[in-house]
Structure 1
Amino acid sequence: MDSASVTTSSTGTAATSAQRDNIVFVHWHDLGRHLSCYGAEGVDSPHLDALAAESIRLTNAHATAPLCSPSRGSLFTGRYPHSNGLVGLAHHGFEYNDDVLTLPQLLGGAGWRTALFGMQHESSDPERLGFDELDVSDSLCDYVTERSQDWLRARQSAGDESPFLLTAGFFETHRPYPADQYPPADPHRLGVPGFLPDARPVREDLAGLLGSITKADAAVGRLLATIAELGLDESTWVVFITDHGLAFPRAKSTLYREGTGVACIVRPPRRRALAGRVYPDMFSGVDLTPTLLELLGVEIPDSIEGVSHADAFLAGRPAPGRSRSHPVVRDEVFTEKTYHDNFDPIRAVRTRNYAYIENYSQRPALSLPLDIRDSPSALALDGSQDLPRPAKEFYDLRVDPYERVNLIADPQYADEIADLAGRLTGWRESTGDRLPDERTGNAIAREFMARYQRQLASDYAAEPERQLPSRRPRGSERELRENGRGERA
């Protein structure tokens, strides 16, 4: 497509090359909504707080899955993990299905220049993701920000007026939190989220996390300053999102609110003249790609399973005396987990008021992934994490936001439970969600964990900073070199 072409969205919105907006897309690891602009106490994140104040700040956004690759895959494809193929971690050998198109591929085909710097966790072959340019050699925030700034300045110096998608992936806020890299916060002056026990190991663990947040926040501030310096804030959507919940017990790797709830901050281009506001409606990770495509005037493929919130984003603040300025786009989100460090099949649906979860295998109440199992916070658990997990769970979020009291057997909620169970079944059927049986699922998990353990035992893995693929800030070292069949995994 040449630079003078016109693209048309599924709703008929047209955009010429002179009008087409850019996107700077910043994503962080394992943070959930743990920022002061979302109410977290003691977090020092002034640049993201300032960004949120002038942006559309989503307060009910959820990942499709509570772990890295499946959640990120949905952000970049608009399809659920069981539909796009990323039902487990990329470094465990899971990949996109051959028919999947990614956001950079879709925008690239419509005339946008696309670049990725830093973190990606969707494929062992970054070239598969469809970016024109990429550098995944280092995903620490200082390097990623410097490369992103250089790219933006070089583009400006060359007189390149084509629209662009710049993706900056930060490793920070993923465990571990080395004190020499991220000076920890004062553990006595931070707030402990209500889903965690207020204990010394938890506070010290959170202090390390807060140190990494402050470091990464400063890098975001430098990137935003460069965008403004180059005048790109007039024509650029800035999108900040996290992949899933905190890497703490009862968050990451669960389908509770703290496992799937994410921060999502979307700043419109200045020329759109849209004031910052809170967006309280339900939003799913699969909605990001169709929303961005429509905002940019690019056709949304039929294969995308998410829905666009573009019209709602552009509607602005509600008029005086009105509670909203747009129809509700969706009133439920669906979430899933199939594999993490084991086979753990779970599906859920949640609305603003209720959450309903189906567990398809007998497992402990909390199946902790390796990074959480090794954490100080895991030591503060009271033992209830080892109790049997119920087959079904139902929570009234109006009185129980941390999903502690399972009301599945309460006859008072029979109608609500039946409604959500029916929605979940309908979604699974309409999206072709098929789970392996227990024997097959466990065998698949044993195979990828055996490969993983073999890598950890190798001479390569014994070198410094190469202990766990999912914890490595160096991109080329995050993936396994082979799957079990001698192919790249």
Structure 2
Amino acid sequence: MTSPHIVLVHCHDLGKYVGCYGAAVDTPRIDDLADNGVRFDRHFVTAPQCSPSRSSLLTGRHPHQNGMLGLAHADWELHDDEHLLPELLAEAGYETHLFGLQHVTEYPDRLGYDRIHTEQPLTAETPPSIHETARARTVADEFATMATAGDHDDPFFASVGFFELHRVGENGHFGFEGDRYETPDPETVDPLEFLPDRPGIRSDIAAMQGMLSAIDDGIGTVLDALEDAGLADDTLVVFTTEHGLAMPRAKGSCFDPGIEATLLLRYPGVLESGRVVDDLVSNVDVFSTLLDVADVELPELEVDDGGIAGRSFAPLLLDDEDGYEPRDRVFAGMTWHDRYNPTRAIRTERWKYVRNFWHLPAVYLTTDIYCSDAGREVHEDCYGEQRAYEELYDLEADPLEQNNLVAGDGPDDPDLERTRDRLREELREWMDETNDPLLEGPVLPGDWDAISLSSTDGRR
């Protein structure tokens, strides 16, 4: 198989909030991509936050392995010796392009792209003039110009990053810019099943749907450009996001709405159209899969932290059963965001076990959610109680994860106790194998040496 062009389209804070996953929204171009490609129904991310999760896409490693334990604009950076997806593809002969946002590093030149087409925005606090360069419709147009401008004799890899659905902060309030996009009447939108049906939540859902229309348009522009350039049949298109919706009990949490993510792949004539995969996969696997499809070997790492954590699911897509190793569990976690929130989780087909390592509210809200209409509707619900140090959910009986089966003094049922103990041990083994710093105690923020004060004799 000839190495295809690869177009990786990604956006902020989407989760699986698109029509092809059952959401009551109008996303015709995204749905068309799913109809003509492969949809992964149980795709989860390594972290319910931006930079750490994105770091897994680029390295095939968990955030605590590659150094991205917090946000890129908050003193966290990838380790210097990490092997990055665009760098590896460039070394294999790919021409590599970055369009729109990346939000993995404050130093985008280190990512290994041959050409960076867009000034790099970072967060909602970034000046609005910078955000404009990463809006979906703008970024998609930039990609279309590149795609239709050349012969592309050599394969190319294009990372196409959209700013939407990120909240934007102004005067202490974070919203989805409902006055910028065409939004439906809040009374007409469907509520989210994992949240109560309250006015502030409805207004945010409506504004979010306006932003979503821009993502759908951007996807359409990318697909049309490939068709117009005669590249569609030779291109693997991947569409994903880094974590769940920027809503309570989603972004910033290890509940399924926080770690679930869209994953759609299209490669005409190679991947089966309309296929739905319900295998457990992690976004840490996308790295290995794309290298596999491009016929690029995984890097050899001399590390003691488990090395490459992802495994290729290309054999699953190409019906090579002998080469495919299905997952029976995925891992996720969070350490730093706008504050310390150290959490690790293991999810199987039926069970979710979460270990919390700090004194935390019942549901942690990132600042952009806390200072939103939706966040204000649930402040008391989320911050009125302290979260348990251990959580266990039966996802078959309790898919919304409302009933922690090991709350209080622990389970009375011996079977539940055995399940808790088994998952607890599997999580600890994984943390040990990947050299998770939480096993050694609290993780200090960012570059602690730079921000600590030294005593006169040089000791801290």
After the TM superposition, which residues 69-218 of structure 1 pair with which residues of structure 2 at under 5 Å, given as runs? 69-137=51-119, 138-156=133-151, 160-176=152-168, 177-218=176-217
Alignment correspondent of 2:15: 32
Alignment correspondent of 1:10: none
Q: TM-score, normalised by structure 2?
A: 0.87
SS in 2 for 1:166: strand
Structure 1 gap ranges (5+): 1-14, 317-323, 449-482
- Identity among equivalent positions (%) equals 37
SS in 1 for 2:378: coil
- Partner Cα separation in structure 1 for residue 137 and residue 72 of structure 2: 24
- Partner Cα separation in structure 1 for residue 438 and residue 327 of structure 2: 26
After the TM superposition, which residues 32-431 of structure 1 pair with which residues of structure 2 at under 5 Å, given as runs? 32-41=15-24, 43-137=25-119, 138-156=133-151, 160-176=152-168, 177-268=176-267, 270-272=268-270, 274-302=272-300, 303-315=307-319, 329-381=326-378, 383-386=380-383, 387-408=385-406, 409-410=410-411, 411=413, 412-431=415-434
How much has 1:434 moved relative to structure 2? 1.2
- Partner Cα separation in structure 2 for residue 87 and residue 69 of structure 1: 8
For the Cα contact (< 8 Å) 2:76–2:446, is it kept in 1? no
- Partner Cα separation in structure 1 for residue 248 and residue 270 of structure 2: 41
For the Cα contact (< 8 Å) 1:48–1:220, is it kept in 2? yes
For the Cα contact (< 8 Å) 2:178–2:208, is it kept in 1? no
For the Cα contact (< 8 Å) 1:350–1:356, is it kept in 2? yes
How much has 1:445 moved relative to structure 2? 7.1
Provide the aligned length of Structure 1 versus Structure 2.
420
- Partner Cα separation in structure 2 for residue 446 and residue 196 of structure 1: 37
Using a 3 Å threshold, how does the CA distance of structure 1 residues 37 and 226 change in structure 2: closer, same or farther? same
- Partner Cα separation in structure 1 for residue 271 and residue 65 of structure 2: 37
- Partner Cα separation in structure 2 for residue 141 and residue 295 of structure 1: 27
For the Cα contact (< 8 Å) 1:120–1:136, is it kept in 2? no
How much has 1:327 moved relative to structure 2? 5.8
For the Cα contact (< 8 Å) 2:393–2:404, is it kept in 1? yes
SS in 1 for 2:343: strand
CA displacement 1:173-204 (0-9 Å, x = unmatched): 11132233212122222221111111111111
For the Cα contact (< 8 Å) 2:332–2:344, is it kept in 1? yes
CA displacement 1:184-242 (0-9 Å, x = unmatched): 12222222111111111111110000000012201210110111111211111000001
CA displacement 1:346-401 (0-9 Å, x = unmatched): 00000111100000111111221110011101121162311101000000000111
- Partner Cα separation in structure 2 for residue 436 and residue 484 of structure 1: 23
How much has 1:413 moved relative to structure 2? 1.2
Alignment correspondent of 1:478: none
Structure 1 counterpart of 2:16, which letter? R
- Partner Cα separation in structure 2 for residue 327 and residue 230 of structure 1: 34
- Partner Cα separation in structure 2 for residue 326 and residue 276 of structure 1: 23
CA RMSD in angstroms, aligned pairs only: 2.1
Using a 3 Å threshold, how does the CA distance of structure 1 residues 382 and 87 change in structure 2: closer, same or farther? closer
- Partner Cα separation in structure 2 for residue 351 and residue 437 of structure 1: 26
After the TM superposition, which residues 445-464 of structure 1 pair with which residues of structure 2 at under 5 Å, given as runs? none
Alignment correspondent of 1:444: 445
How much has 1:71 moved relative to structure 2? 0.3
Q: TM-score, normalised by structure 1?
A: 0.82
SS in 1 for 2:3: coil
Say which is worse superposed, 129-138 or 251-260, in terms of deviation: 129-138
How much has 1:436 moved relative to structure 2? 7.8
How much has 1:447 moved relative to structure 2? 7.7
For the Cα contact (< 8 Å) 2:46–2:63, is it kept in 1? yes
For the Cα contact (< 8 Å) 2:271–2:318, is it kept in 1? no
- Partner Cα separation in structure 1 for residue 4 and residue 392 of structure 2: 42
SS in 1 for 2:204: helix
For the Cα contact (< 8 Å) 2:12–2:241, is it kept in 1? yes
- Partner Cα separation in structure 2 for residue 121 and residue 350 of structure 1: 26
For the Cα contact (< 8 Å) 1:40–1:193, is it kept in 2? no
Using a 3 Å threshold, how does the CA distance of structure 1 residues 116 and 362 change in structure 2: closer, same or farther? same
Alignment correspondent of 1:432: 435
- Partner Cα separation in structure 2 for residue 308 and residue 244 of structure 1: 20
- Partner Cα separation in structure 1 for residue 448 and residue 375 of structure 2: 26
SS in 2 for 1:208: helix
- Partner Cα separation in structure 2 for residue 214 and residue 360 of structure 1: 39
For the Cα contact (< 8 Å) 1:235–1:271, is it kept in 2? no
CA displacement 1:114-153 (0-9 Å, x = unmatched): 0001011000011011110012321111221111011112
- Partner Cα separation in structure 2 for residue 71 and residue 139 of structure 1: 19
For the Cα contact (< 8 Å) 1:77–1:289, is it kept in 2? yes
- Partner Cα separation in structure 1 for residue 329 and residue 311 of structure 2: 12
- Partner Cα separation in structure 1 for residue 324 and residue 146 of structure 2: 39
- Partner Cα separation in structure 2 for residue 355 and residue 204 of structure 1: 31
